[in-house]
């Protein structure tokens, strides 16, 4: 299989999204502008940020510095939980657009499923409203369990495009994947490298050696080779960013895919803030968080 890195895309509910995105979580200041500009220069066409990252302005600077037409880049941001009340939500989206130096984003997500203070119906209503006003092209959620995702789908008049979740070889997400696929949605994988834990993993290292690739490249390929899955790659290194998108000249065998799936652990989840995290779905064996 040989695919052009700038054209491999996944479609869902009217959205067409590049299979590999460049993520900016925990990136600050000039590093953000530098890496966004570099990522776009080597073929990334999907950039992911969020209000809580505190770097939307720098992402906007990187987009402008790239010289690319706005329509060439798929841009995602996320509304933070402190802005979930209807009026605050609309105001925060306007602020995000100003920081990002654009009059629309391609995808807007609810960042975490926090419903104890603002009902989910109110959040979904605001999400639909900004889409109706043309400020966002597509809408979705992040860190949603299967039950919460079903609730969101039932409440939304517009189609939801993705559920962005932690997903890597050590965390089974088959339950979330199943519900998303049945709804015609994409799952967007973040923390693909399991905070660096995949590097040096014997199983992944052996597969990487067989294909002449790095462990990071193999994990990203494993993700996007799955049906309706796209992946975010994040690094502060220009060299690694260039390497991470060079995954379209390899195809993993069914045995290799299964071997990586087999690395999932019952305690594989890495990101689960006490005050934000829902009661997660259990995998084949109940997850211990």
Q: Which residue has 């992402």 as its token pair?
A: 59
Report the run of H or E that residue 47 belongs to, with start and end.
Answer: strand 46-48
Cα 122 off chain centre by: 23
From 44, 53, 167, 190, active-site residue: 53
> Residue 255's CB: how many other CB atoms inside 10 A?
8
Asked if residues 268 and 171 have their Cβ atoms less than 8 Å apart, the reply is: yes
Active site residue 191: no
Asked if residues 278 and 143 have their Cβ atoms less than 8 Å apart, the reply is: yes
Q: Which residue has 């070889």 as its token pair?
A: 169
How far apart are the C-alpha atoms of 130 and 282, rounded to whole Å?
A: 33
How far apart are the C-alpha atoms of 262 and 240, rounded to whole Å?
A: 26
Residue 175's alpha-carbon distances to 13, 118, 141, 144, 180, in angstroms, are 20, 26, 16, 11, 9
Active-site residue numbers? 53
């Amino acid at each position: 299989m040989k695919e052009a890195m700038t054209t491999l895309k996944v479609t869902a509910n009217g959205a067409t999204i590049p299979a590999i995105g460049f993520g900016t979580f925990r990136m600050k200041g000039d590093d953000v502008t530098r890496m966004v500009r570099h990522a776009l220069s080597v073929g990334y066409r999907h950039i992911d940020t969020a209000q809580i990252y505190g770097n939307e302005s720098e992402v906007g600077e990187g987009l402008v510095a790239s010289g690319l037409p706005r329509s060439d880049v798929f841009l995602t941001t996320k509304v933070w939980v402190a802005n979930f009340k209807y009026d605050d939500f609309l105001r925060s989206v306007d602020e995000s657009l100003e920081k990002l130096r654009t009059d629309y984003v391609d995808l807007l997500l609810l960042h975490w499923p926090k419903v104890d203070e603002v009902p989910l119906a109110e959040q979904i209503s605001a999400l639909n409203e900004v889409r109706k006003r043309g400020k966002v092209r597509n809408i979705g959620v992040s860190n949603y369990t299967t039950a919460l995702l079903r609730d969101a789908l039932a409440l939304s008049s517009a189609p939801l495009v993705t559920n962005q979740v932690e997903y890597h070889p050590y965390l089974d997400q088959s339950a979330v994947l199943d519900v998303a696929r049945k709804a015609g949605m994409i799952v967007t994988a973040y923390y693909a490298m399991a905070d660096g834990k995949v590097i040096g993993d014997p199983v992944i290292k052996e597969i990487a050696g067989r294909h002449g690739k790095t462990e990071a490249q193999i994990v990203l390929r494993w993700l996007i080779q799955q049906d309706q899955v796209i992946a975010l790659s994040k690094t502060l290194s220009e060299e690694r960013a260039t390497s991470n998108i060079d995954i379209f000249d390899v195809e993993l065998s069914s045995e290799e895919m299964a071997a990586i799936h087999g690395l999932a652990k019952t305690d594989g989840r890495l990101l689960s803030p006490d005050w934000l995290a829902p009661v997660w779905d259990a995998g084949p064996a109940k997850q211990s968080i």
